[in-house]
Structure 1
Amino acid sequence: MAGRAGGSTGRPPLTERRRAETRMEIATEAVRLFVAHGVTAATADEIASAAGVSTRTLWRYFRSKEECVRPLLTTGLEALADRLKDWQGDRSLAEAIISLHDDEALEDRADTLRDLVRLCRTEPGLRAVWLEAHRDAEAAFAALIADRTRRPVDDLAVRMEAGVLNTALRIGVEDWALRSDASAGTSFGETVTRALGMIAHLFPGQAPEAPAPSRT
Structure 2
Amino acid sequence: MSTQQPLSLTERRKAATQLDIARAAAELFAAHGPDATTAEAIAQRAGVALRTFYRYFRSKQDAVGPLLSSGAERWRSLLADADPAAPLADTLERAVTEALAVRDEEAAEQLDRTRGLLRAAASDSALRAVWYRVNQDSEERLVPALTRLAGPEADPLEVRLAAAAATDAIRVALETWSETDAPTSGPASPAALAVRCLRELTGGMRLLGR
TM-score relative to the length of structure 2: 0.80
C-alpha distance in 2 between matches for 1:66 and 1:196: 25
C-alpha distance in 2 between matches for 1:122 and 1:172: 19
C-alpha distance in 2 between matches for 1:166 and 1:145: 12
Deviation of 1:153 (Å):
9.5
Q: Does 1:193 align with 2:191?
A: yes
Q: Does 1:17 align with 2:12?
A: yes
Deviation of 1:15 (Å):
3.4
Deviation of 1:99 (Å):
2.6
Gaps of 5+ in 1: 1-9, 209-216
C-alpha distance in 2 between matches for 1:166 and 1:188: 20
Instruction: Quote the residue 1:129 is aligned against.
Output: 130
Instruction: Quote the residue 2:45 is aligned against.
Output: 50
C-alpha distance in 2 between matches for 1:207 and 1:128: 31
Answer whether contact 2:29 2:116 (CA < 8 A) is retained. no
C-alpha distance in 2 between matches for 1:135 and 1:153: 22
Deviation of 1:138 (Å):
0.3
Question: Taking structure 1 as reference, are residues 49 and 189 closer, same or farther at Cα in structure 2, changes over 3 Å only?
Answer: farther
Q: Which amino acid aligns with 1:167?
A: D
C-alpha distance in 1 between matches for 2:47 and 2:92: 39
Larger Rg computed on CA atoms: 1
Please state whether the residue corresponding to 2:48 is helix, strand or coil.
coil
Question: What value does the CA root-mean-square deviation take over the aligned residues?
Answer: 2.8
Q: Render the CA deviation track for 1:175-200: whole Å, top value 9, x for unaligned.
A: 221112xxxx2316873432343224
C-alpha distance in 2 between matches for 1:193 and 1:68: 25
Task: Between 74-83 and 87-96, report the one with greater CA deviation.
Answer: 87-96
Q: Does 1:28 align with 2:23?
A: yes
Question: Taking structure 1 as reference, are residues 200 and 52 closer, same or farther at Cα in structure 2, changes over 3 Å only?
Answer: same
